[in-house]
């Protein structure tokens, strides 16, 4: 499966993609560091150089509306039972404040991949947690509330 394929042809290809089999060690560069470096080097005042970067945990975004500006893929070294790939996102909140976050929830990863390949980014979404019939909690992206 190539990076431009919209739909995997087989279950094995989907499983390989979710496991991060195509991600090499060179692909795991820490983009937070890169984004921080760009912000610092483009700063025009001492205050801008010293400003904290906005990094938000995905768990704090539950029920929130935000815009995914870009996504890149990283290989997880922490996954015990889920996919071996997670999404690293640059986002903006409703006030336009940019922040960085990541999410490895399988459904979110698949939703973001479809949006990336279909050219839907930037994409305004809400992050929701739903309970499954098996008693687990699953994260998913959904349409933002009409108030947004």
Ranges of each domain in the chain: 11-142
How high is the mean pLDDT of the chain?
Answer: 81
Give the pTM. Answer: 0.73
pLDDT of residue 2 exceeding 60: no
Per-residue pLDDT tens digits for 12-68:
888 777 777 777 654 445 555 666 777 788 889 999 888 877 788 888 889 999 999
d(CA 31, CA 119): 21
- At 9 the three-state DSSP class reads coil
Q: Where are the alpha helices (DSSP H) in the chain?
A: 11-18, 31-42, 46-50, 106-118
Q: pLDDT value at position 28? A: 47
């Amino acid at each position: 499966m190539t990076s431009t394929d919209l739909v995997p042809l087989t279950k094995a290809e989907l499983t390989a993609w979710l496991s991060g089999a195509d991600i090499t060690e060179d692909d795991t560069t820490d983009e937070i560091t890169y984004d921080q470096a760009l912000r610092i080097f483009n700063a025009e005042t001492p205050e801008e150089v010293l400003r904290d970067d906005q990094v938000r945990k995905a768990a704090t975004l539950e029920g929130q509306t935000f815009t995914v500006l870009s996504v890149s893929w990283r290989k997880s070294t922490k996954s015990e039972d889920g996919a071996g790939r997670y999404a690293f996102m640059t986002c903006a909140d409703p006030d336009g404040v940019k922040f960085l976050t990541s999410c490895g929830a399988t459904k979110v990863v698949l939703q973001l991949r479809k949006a990336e390949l279909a050219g839907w980014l930037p994409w305004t979404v809400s992050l929701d947690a739903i309970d499954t019939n098996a008693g687990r909690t699953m994260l998913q992206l959904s349409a933002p509330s009409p108030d947004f």
